[in-house]
Amino acid sequence: MEVTMDPLFLAWSYFRRRKLQQCSDICTKILQDNPYDQDSSLLISEAAWSLKTRALTEMVYIDEIEVDQEGIAEMMLDESSIAQVARPGTSLRLPGTCHGGGPTPAVRPMTQSGRPITGFVRPSTQSGRPGTMEQAIKTPRTASTARPVTASSGRFIRLGTASMLTNPEGPFINLSRLNLAKYSQKPNLSRTLFEYIFHHENDVKNALDLAAQATEHAQFKDWWWKVQLGKCYYRQVTHHPSYYSTA
């Protein structure tokens, strides 16, 4: 007698092992086999819907901690970089001026660019400014991937087309027909839906609407939704064309 694994548990196992495409495919089959009009299948459908939403989000997720990282274009084409050779009489590398009276490099290690090494290490703080394009490409920039950041504006534009790559028939969730007020009252679904809209669809307006309604439903006591509101406001301001025209 052959014992088969529960499809939802198998999809969760694939998600834990970062096999996101297999997880999404199994969740799609579960949603097709369990219609929403049956009460017995409602919980299974909601769980599969939430898991597929998380899987699609993880495929394109970018850690917002690294949102201010410089891209390759900004590093290699920086007009304000310091000249490699100092003019006579203005060099800061004269004998006795680098460490006069201060701690030695053995006590306070320094990086190649002259910055003191702190206790918090990020991927790009140890390498300094890359001298060549090859060094810039080799330097990882994000926490979840080893690829370098190109241009931040182009990166956010590409995120908006991710839904067309995951489903040949169109996006998984039709945001224009979505009732955000209903989902904002379901804490077990609203958070995964917000991350899907924010990261996968790159629709900051709908993400902001969902976060505002969910914050109101939580009586303004949920810190997680307040953080998401801040992320939406930051994305709206810094990536609006008027921000660069007035900067």
Among 148, 150, 145, residue whose Cα is nearest residue 127? 148
In a domain, 69, yes or no: no
Please indicate, yes or no, if residue 122 is contained in any of the structural domains.
yes
Q: Which domain holds residue 161?
A: 150-241
Structural domains counted in the chain: 3
Distance CA 210, CA 181 (A): 7
Asked whether residue 105 is assigned to any structural domain, the reply reads no
Q: Is residue 32 part of a domain?
A: yes
Is the pTM higher than 0.75? The answer reads no
Distance between CA atoms of 19 and 139, rounded to whole angstroms? Answer: 25
Domain co-membership, 198 together with 141: no
Q: ∠ CA 236-237-242 to the nearest 5 degrees?
A: 110
Does residue 169 share a domain with residue 133?
Answer: no
Q: Are residues 178 and 120 in the same domain?
A: no
pLDDT, one tens digit for every residue, the chain (247 residues): 567 889 999 999 999 999 999 999 999 998 888 765 555 668 888 899 999 999 999 998 877 665 556 666 666 666 665 666 767 766 555 554 444 555 565 566 666 666 666 665 555 554 455 555 555 555 555 545 555 555 554 555 444 444 444 455 667 888 888 889 999 999 889 999 999 999 888 889 999 999 999 999 999 999 999 999 999 998 887 655 554 455 4
